[in-house]
A and B are shown apart, each in its own frame.
Chain A
Amino acid sequence: MAITAVVLTLRRNLFAVVVLSGLYSFLMATVLVALDAVDVAMTEAAVGAGISTVLLLGALHLCKSEESRSTRSPWLPLALASSVGVLLIYGALGLPDFADPNAPIHQHVVPRYLQNEVDVPNVVTAVLASFRGYDTLGETTVVFTAGAGIIALLRRRKSSTEKNRDGK
Chain B
Amino acid sequence: MENNLVLRVVGKLLIPFILLFAVYVQFHGDFGPGGGFQAGVIFAAGIVFYAIIFGLDQARRIVPDRLVETMLALGVLIYAGVGVAGLFLGGNFLDYFVLDRNPVHGQHRGIFWVEVGVAITVCGVMLKIFYMFASRGQREEDA
- A122 touching B31 by the CB < 8 A rule? yes
The number of chain B residues touching the other chain, given as a range, is 35 or more
- B37 touching A43 by the CB < 8 A rule? yes
- A46 touching B136 by the CB < 8 A rule? no
- A144 touching B38 by the CB < 8 A rule? no
Q: Kindly state whether residue B139 has any CB partner on chain A within 8 Å.
A: yes
Q: Kindly state whether residue A39 has any CB partner on chain B within 8 Å.
A: yes
Question: Nearest residue in A to B48 (C-beta to C-beta)?
Answer: A54
The residue among A41, A140, A144 with the most chain B CB atoms within 10 A of its own CB is: A140
Q: Which of these binds chain B: A14-22, A55-63, A80-88, A99-107?
A: A55-63
Q: Which of B31, B37, B94 contacts A137 (CB 8 A)?
A: B94
Q: Kindly state whether residue A47 has any CB partner on chain B within 8 Å.
A: yes
Q: Which of A54, A122, A148 contacts B52 (CB 8 A)?
A: A54
Residues of chain A within 8 A of B121, CB atoms compared: 140, 143-144, 147
Q: Kindly state whether residue A42 has any CB partner on chain B within 8 Å.
A: yes
How far does the Cβ of B102 sit from chain A's closest Cβ, in whole Å? 10
Question: Given A118-B111, A144-B125 in contact, is the A47-B41 Cβ separation under 8 Å?
Answer: yes
* Bound form: Cα–Cα A161–B21 in Å: 40
Residues of chain A within 8 A of B130, CB atoms compared: 51, 54-55, 58
- B136 touching A125 by the CB < 8 A rule? no
Question: Given A46-B45, A130-B96, A144-B75 in contact, is the A121-B30 Cβ separation under 8 Å?
Answer: yes
- B139 touching A133 by the CB < 8 A rule? no
How far does the Cβ of B114 sit from chain A's closest Cβ, in whole Å? 5
Residues of chain B within 8 A of A27, CB atoms compared: none
* Bound form: Cα–Cα A17–B48 in Å: 21
- B72 touching A154 by the CB < 8 A rule? no
Residues of chain A within 8 A of B25, CB atoms compared: 42
- B117 touching A122 by the CB < 8 A rule? no
8 closest A-B pairs by beta carbon, nearest first, are A147-B125, A58-B133, A38-B33, A118-B107, A133-B94, A129-B111, A46-B41, A154-B132
Report which B residues bind A (CB closer than 8 A).
25, 29-38, 41-42, 44-45, 48, 52, 69, 72-73, 75-76, 79-80, 83, 94, 96, 104, 107-108, 110-111, 114-115, 117-118, 121-122, 124-126, 128-130, 132-134, 136-137, 139-140
